[in-house]
Amino acid sequence: MVTLTLLSSPFAFGQIPRAAKPAAKTSTITTKKLEKEKPYTRWSLKAGGNISVIYLARNIKEKNNEPGYCGGLTYEVNNFVRVSCLYTRFKPINIEPTWLDIKANTYESNMELLARFPNQKTLLYPFVGLSFNTYTGFFTGESDYLNLREYYPINSIVKNEWIGLNFGTGIEHTFGIFGLFLDYRMRVGRQEKAFNIMDVCYTGGVKVRFPYGKIAKRLSPASSRQRFMWF
C-alpha cells in the first residue's frame, strides 16, 4: 500500500515559500536650488558732460550754450521706478557786457519712470524732480535790457539761490557693467518775482552699475529669499 508522506514533501503545509518583500526605497532628499543672485546691485554711478543755456532769461548771447560736467547716483526702487541724484557744475562764463565771471551749480533729485525695450538693455525714462540752483556773477549794469538795476546794485557781486522744478526725458543703453545715457531737461523757477524757464540742458555720459561683492553680501539680510532685495 502506497502512503504519501506529505510532511516530507516540499509543498507541505507550513513550508510554502513566501515571496520576499521588496526592499524599502530610500527616500532621497532633493535640495532646492538657491535663487540665482543678481550680478548687479540696485545702485549705479553716473558721470558725464552737459551743454546748458544757463539762466535762459538773462543769457542774451548769440551762442548761449555753455559746457559743464556732472556726476551722481541712481537707485532702482523696482523695475518701473528709479531715483537719481545729480550734481552739475558749469564752466565760468561771461554774458557781456551785463554779467561777468558767472559761476553756476545745480543739485537735483529726480524720480524716473522706466520703460524698457524688449532687449531689456535699452530704456526710456521720463522724469520729474526738484533742483537747488546757485548763480554767482558780477553785475555791471551795462546794457541792462531786463532792468535788473531795480533788484541789484551796479558793479556788485550778485548771488542767487533758487529752487527749480525739473522736467525731462532720457534714453539709456547698458553693456554689462557699463552703460551710456543721454537726457534732456528744463528747469522752471521763480526769480525777480516771476516764473520762467531758467535753464535748458542736454546731458550725456557713462553709467557704471555696482556688482555684488563682499560688502553687498554683508549688508544684505541673512535670509536666502530676501538676500540682496534692497541693495
Is 27 inside a domain boundary? no
Assess contact for 134 and 160: CB atoms under 8 A.
yes
Low-confidence ranges of the chain (pLDDT < 70): 1-38, 55-64, 192, 212-231
Q: What is the residue range of 181's domain? A: 44-219
| pLDDT value at residue 216 | 53
Is 28 inside a domain boundary? no
Is 8 inside a domain boundary? no
* Cα–Cα distance measured from residue 213 to residue 177, given in angstroms and rounded to the nearest whole number: 13
Is 88 inside a domain boundary? yes
| pLDDT value at residue 114 | 95
Q: Give the position of cell 518583500.
A: 21
Kindly state the cell numbers that stand for 125.
525714462
| pLDDT value at residue 38 | 61
Q: What share of the chain is helix, strand, coil (3-state, %, to 5)?
A: 5, 55, 40
**pTM here?**
0.72
Assess contact for 12 and 6: CB atoms under 8 A.
yes
Is 3 inside a domain boundary? no
CB-neighbour burial class of residue 28 (10 A; exposed 0-12, middle 13-18, buried 19+): exposed
| pLDDT value at residue 5 | 46
Q: Is 218 helix (H, G, I), strand (E, B) or coil?
A: helix
Q: Is 89 helix (H, G, I), strand (E, B) or coil?
A: strand
CATH code of the domain containing 170: 2.40.160.20
CB-neighbour burial class of residue 59 (10 A; exposed 0-12, middle 13-18, buried 19+): middle
Assess contact for 113 and 81: CB atoms under 8 A.
yes
Is 31 inside a domain boundary? no
Assess contact for 205 and 47: CB atoms under 8 A.
yes
Is 16 inside a domain boundary? no
| pLDDT, tens only, 99-121 | 889 888 999 999 999 999 998 89
| pLDDT value at residue 15 | 52
When divided into structural domains, the chain yields a total of 1
Q: Is 165 helix (H, G, I), strand (E, B) or coil?
A: strand
